[in-house]
Amino acid sequence: MQRMLSRDDRRPSIAPAARELADTVDVSAIAAAVTAEILGGVWADLDDPDFRATVHRSVLENVESIFDVIGGRTDIASCVPQGALEFAEVTAQLGVPAADVERCYRTGVSFLWSLWFRLACDHADDTGAPLAELIEGPTLAILGYVDHILAPVVARHNEIRTELHATRAHVRRMSLTQVLDGSVDEPSKELDASLDYFVADTHLAMLVTVPDTLVLDETVARLRSAADARAALLFQHGPRSWLVWLGRPLPFTVRHLANLRRELTTSRLVVTVSDPNPGIAGLRFTRDQVVGAARVQRALGVAGHRCLFTSEVRLETMMLADETRARNFVAAELGRLGAADTAAVRLRETLLTWLSTGSHISAAAILGVHENTVRNRIRQAERLLDAPLRPPRTELQVALRLERVLRVQESGGE
């Protein structure tokens, strides 16, 4: 290869015979053949006439430039076909991956080289010109040209894709913000298109904490598959937290929710999950559910409640909507049992476990103490409450559950 490059600018050294052959080439016919090869090999299913015309314009300018280089009329560094950049912009706007753009160029250059090789062989047979002179320099010219032009094409493609992504993400966020604040209250095809999501579906919301967006994308794909959702919608809620909606045209079944819970449990994510709810109002309802449940989740301790379904803390979430009333209710129900000392805290934990299980034995097993210890603590609680404890004591159990959350919030655990 070194032999075929001139010392001054390392451009391909083209033999006179190759330059003469290049001058006889029907550029339009070759460009049409290369275009057909690219469309058939890379985009066989795409029959949009405007797109095909864009491909052909790019190919034609590229082929013209390549034969100008081989013919000695220009050098590679001077070639910047506008058709190639237009092609980069159009493919980016259509969402064509950069890998397909590169494959298009590889397909085109391979086919162009094969056409040149056949021309060179025929020319060598007809004129007796050395085949090596007809092949070596033009081959380096073809490869060097593609290497030169592909870099700005891919760069332009990626630049447009980045701009479009930012713009579309902004439009999507603005549209969703209007839905969530009630400014938009009617489903429409335009809204679905803007969100890339079906607002009339049944929605299930999750508030997910993730270290980075790459993990988020991978996670959402798995969750969508587990719940058999047809679409997912994302909205950044905080620096590391995202609201994620999964949508289905039909209701989520018990099996879907079980699959989702299993996937979330194994993922080790910190997540709260709403109840399913339909329609555009369901988007707002499920958002409010998970945001409220996440507050309870933080108060209870994320380590022990990494995956929390809102149905598990529906009572706490509802009662804490008015925190002042919740605190007054707790104080009235617990009286002296609501004291902040360690002994009172232990009695409340024992009492809540006993009321939840309905059994001294079960409570003892959960707390890791003897059954008689549970009985003694219940008697102490009765003295502080000035009342016998005979289940069901619904108000007392509610007060104990709320106190557990409020206590953690007061200590800064949120």
Q: What pLDDT was estimated at residue 245?
A: 97
Least confident of 43-52, 132-141, 202-211, 224-233: 43-52
Contacts with 367 (C-beta within 8 Å, 6 or more apart), sequence order: 349, 350, 353, 373, 374
- Give pLDDT tens digits for 397-409: 777 777 777 776 6
> Among residues of the chain, what percentage have pLDDT more than 70?
91
Residues 389-393 have a mean pLDDT of 63
Q: What pLDDT was estimated at residue 215?
A: 77
- Checking if the pLDDT of 232 tops 90, the result is yes
The answer to whether the bond into 392 is cis (omega within 30° of 0) is yes
- Give pLDDT tens digits for 25-84: 999 999 999 999 999 888 876 656 678 888 999 999 999 999 999 999 989 988 877 888
- Whose tokens are 């809620």? That residue is 237
pLDDT band at 247 (very low <50, low <70, confident <90, very high): very high
Q: Which domains does the chain have, with CATH numbers?
A: 2-165 (1.10.490), 192-316 (3.30.70.2730), 322-410 (1.10.10.2840)
- Checking if the pLDDT of 392 tops 60, the result is no
- Average pLDDT over the chain reads 85
| Gap between the Cα atoms of 297 and 404, Å rounded | 12
Residue 232, number of CB atoms within 10 A of its CB: 18
Residues 300-328 have a mean pLDDT of 77
Buried b or exposed e, range 391-409, using 16+ CB within 10 angstroms: eebeebbbbbbbbbbbbbe
